[in-house]
Amino acid sequence: MKKILLIGLMIFAANALASSTYTKDQLNSMDSMGQYPEQEAPVTKSVESISFEECKLNASSAYNQVIGSYPAKEIVDTNVLYIVKIWTNDGVVMVSCSEPDNKKVVTQSSYK
């Protein structure tokens, strides 16, 4: 009996620690209402030295591939900074391009 209870508690704890996921339809519905899932702190996935123009081209290409299917926003679009945010089933991906230091930074945040 103790083993069954222990296994049940382990499964419950694992589910409680797992981050949330959302379907494309749920995310689009939230987007249409201007309400988005709560996010965990962002985790840097990559930092790359790249020209601003090439970075912006890569980031806008990713943005254009998902727009219309998943929520995506151009957060900043200036001559020195470009940031896109893309909501996916299991979290948010942000791609930042910086002209002054020629860097591309990709971060990901899981949903709470």
Q: In this predicted structure, what is the pLDDT of residue 94?
A: 98
DSSP-assigned letter for residue 80: S
> pTM for the complete prediction?
0.81
Give the CA count within 13 Å in the CB-facing half-sphere of 65.
7
Evaluate whether 97 touches 82 at the Cβ level (below 8 Å).
yes
Q: Give the residue from 98, 55, 101 showing the smallest Cα distance to 80.
A: 98
Q: Per-block average pLDDT, block size 10, for the chain (112 residues)?
A: 42 52 97 96 97 98 96 98 97 98 97 96
Task: Spell out the domains of the chain, with CATH numbers in brackets.
Answer: 20-110 (3.30.160)
DSSP-assigned letter for residue 98: E
